[in-house]
Amino acid sequence: MRFDDMTEAIGNTPLVRIDPAVHGLRQIDLYAKMELLNPFGSLKDRAALQMVRPLLAGAAERGDTVVELSSGNTAKALAMIAGMHGVPFKSVTNRMKVPEIKDLLLLLGAEIDELPGQAECLDPTDTEDPLSRMHRTLSANGSGYVHTDQYFNEQNVEAHLHGTGPEIVKDLDGRAPDFFFACVGTAGSSTGVARALRQHDPDVRVVGLVAAKSDFIPGIRTIDEVHEVGLFDPGVYDTVDTITSDDAVDGLLTLVRRCGTPAGPTGGGAFQGAVRHLRALDPTLTSRKTAVFIVCDRVESYLSYLRERRPALFGRPPRRNDTRDLAADEIAAAPTVDVEEAARWPGLIVDLRNPHAYQALHIDGSINIVDELFAEMLHGGLPFGRRQPVLLVCPVGEKSARYAALLTRMGHPAVRSLAGGIIAWRDAGARLVRD
């Protein structure tokens, strides 16, 4: 394979059979369309290329910026493609809830605008939602923007009608599958693939998967939100099933741990939704069937999403010298000094507050080691000698008491905590300085 540029690597992803031992279906062969193998990491590479290709030359000439309402994979793909042509990219979003993706987009050189939250004191006469206003700005002539408009752009569907869909048919030896499962985001891939498959066999059953209403699965819309998508046509789907973020994470874990497939939550949701739907049918089937679902993107961008929902997955071995191991009576017994004694302290003074606060005002002669860094240092052992008296200072004397207790337990004989913290120091009228 020799290509002139990376976009030529988009598409022609493999269709991989899922081991029946994993899904337990007797009469159904389940295949995963491995869209995570696209070069920029997701299914959205196809639509991004298809939508932006006709706009790039003009945008480069006029110096326009490509803009899209996207909080994830479409933005990522557009940023990379636009960047290849020296065109800037901006993403407008109110849905960017996954910090890694935000950071990744910034790394790729994208600009991100976040839309405001709802007003607390509502003005119901204001029917102008920020999104509509944004839309109008973007589509005005001479705005300096070209808008790919993924939720309404037919090219988004075309990319899958002529790419993803026919590839599935080709890999199934010219037959359409009996079932097709797709998570509904922009509805581009589900609509395009469904259309292509039905051209081959009008009886293909298409199942759309949406998120439960109050739930959040990145890349999947809720049952209400799909109505806001121009490409969404309820007629495309024989059934619309709801999946939860729990389902998505369960499916993701099965794919990454059992199937050699580093899938993100959308792929996990599609797998889980497919297996649940098919399990109900499997016992009633008398002939072999095939089913296909899409693995949209990769797991690596969702670690914080997973950590939030399944902290147990990230359990780490406990570290030594940790304040969390202290007993309440140990903390209560931590040696303290009052402001008067602190003012005459002969040794080292360590201020545990953040650097900004320290630089603004601190006790003369103190040094600043922010608490999280101090905690890290203590995991490695005592950072100063036992003969060195140390006074610890924090805002109210609570954190410093914990660290004083920990250092005492670690064998330091001359560590003290400033009782009441620097706030008590200030309230006593003692001197604070800045450099």
Binding site for other proteins (CB under 8 A): 96, 102, 106, 111-122, 124, 126-127, 129-132, 152, 213-214, 223-224, 227-230, 232-233, 353-354, 356-361, 370, 372, 395-396, 398, 422-423, 426, 434
Q: How far is the CB of 123 from other proteins (least distance, A)?
A: 8
Q: How far is CA 43 from the centre of its chain?
A: 16
Q: How far is the CB of 144 from other proteins (least distance, A)?
A: 16
Residue 269 contacts residue 243 (beta carbons within 8 Å):
yes
Q: How far is the CB of 112 from other proteins (least distance, A)?
A: 4
Q: Which is nearer to other proteins, 116 or 318 (CB)?
A: 116
Cα 285 to Cα 152: distance, rounded to the nearest angstrom: 38
Q: Which is nearer to other proteins, 157 or 295 (CB)?
A: 157
Q: Which is nearer to other proteins, 31 or 232 (CB)?
A: 232
Cα 318 to Cα 75: distance, rounded to the nearest angstrom: 39
Cα 353 to Cα 371: distance, rounded to the nearest angstrom: 7
Q: How far is the CB of 19 from other proteins (least distance, A)?
A: 37
Q: How far is the CB of 58 from other proteins (least distance, A)?
A: 25
Q: Which residues of 277-298 are buried (b: 16+ CB within 10 A; e: fewer)?
A: bbeebbeeeeeebbbbbbbbbb
Q: Which is nearer to other proteins, 6 or 361 (CB)?
A: 361
β-strand partners of 209: 183, 241
Written as six digits, the tokens of 327 are 């007993």
Residue 184 contacts residue 221 (beta carbons within 8 Å):
yes
325: three-class secondary structure by DSSP: helix
| C-alpha dihedral, 277 to 281 to 286 to 289, nearest 10° | -10
Q: Which is nearer to other proteins, 77 or 105 (CB)?
A: 105
Q: Which is nearer to other proteins, 118 or 287 (CB)?
A: 118
Q: Which of 32, 53, 39, 30 is nearest to 11 (CA)?
A: 39
Residue 25 contacts residue 271 (beta carbons within 8 Å):
no
Q: How far is the CB of 359 from other proteins (least distance, A)?
A: 8
429: three-class secondary structure by DSSP: coil
Q: Which helix (H) or strand (E) holds 95?
A: none
Q: Whats the size of the chain, residue-wise?
A: 435
Q: How far is the CB of 139 from other proteins (least distance, A)?
A: 14
Q: Which is nearer to other proteins, 190 or 261 (CB)?
A: 190
Q: Which is nearer to other proteins, 57 or 423 (CB)?
A: 423
Q: How far is the CB of 205 from other proteins (least distance, A)?
A: 18
First to last CA, the chain: 62
